[in-house]
Structure 1
């Protein structure tokens, strides 16, 4: 990705993101329980843990696609609006982001819904995604890696202060993964706060802080250097290299 774009919503309106005793229940099952944490502005936070630990659910809750069953979710000390789907100032890219029928450019225009037309921004997004020669091509014809880069470029067009990524390199080949990770680093370098869920050591290595969940509960915050990638599913809660308030006190 080349070029830059400032955040459309001031970071001061979102950060810190605070979860106070947050739980999320689906039916009889608690998928998140008793979460108390803060996510500070800036850098990359990796959310790790075993399958079913609540990583995606946490991202969906922060984005506003789900609401806490109990507890409080605060952005810069304020509760988010109850109406609407996603909270403002954010963008989220899923592991398998759906594409609209139509061209690559048609899919990028989705980010401009309600904001008018901006051909220059669309062209910049095509360049960022490495798709400048494919704007009129059907989005359905793109490879998985190209679709994911398109989804990231579409998110960038929304000028978010916070970017949530749910396993962004899932099922991608090494070359496509490398391109995605470079895109993520560049977005973070532009001042966009990134929170990504992952199992992958190469993604964790990008992070300045790591948040580990297990059975929907917060286990640790820690620097990625203190993690053994082979033990991501079995880090003891009392690991001396980690602390629950790492995110609050890190300087990134």
Structure 2
């Protein structure tokens, strides 16, 4: 199945607020930040989660990063943690969490992913959250469930599924989703989204303007924001990939990742049934 130029089935399941909706009803998203010198990726993801509609977004950061992040956020809340146990406590009551962007390839990131998997929040695992399990992919797959979403580019995919890239990308993503037991977003010019139940979409509105640092962090935050609003994980991934590309194409040359979150309202307005 290929996404057409006009959004397909997921459009009907996009979450929209009603007259009585309050911020907590729109979902609570957490985004795990890296250390003090590695906070930009998480800030991009958090802002994207807000723009896509999550009602409450919190940056979960190592204690040392508080002084860097506090002056850099406004509507996004800031919650410091000292270890993975404290991180899991902070996530209690959250609907979704993004973990991995600039998190660091280290034991702390591995422990954080494992702790978050026990919280019941839907996870979006990206970047360092994937790479840290190179050599131990089964350790990651053992803690995932079908509501979680993995968002590797080709290099990250190879680290977890070194045997699958001999296949075509569609088959590779499909088998990877089944093996991991989670939704797979294999990023590229034609991003493949696959669910463990066999559903698959090849996105066809990709644009080269997304070839810029940080664009994947924005996508992770968008998926997390839709998951926080309790959208089906596969549909949320399909919708976010399409909207992400539409936002980039609407900007065109000169796009940097920081531009993307503020392009989302125009794309969402075109999708809103009340328009």
TM-score (norm 2): 0.32
TM-score (norm 1): 0.34
Structure number having the greater strand percentage:
1
Structure number having the greater helix percentage:
2
Q: Radius of gyration: which is bigger?
A: 1
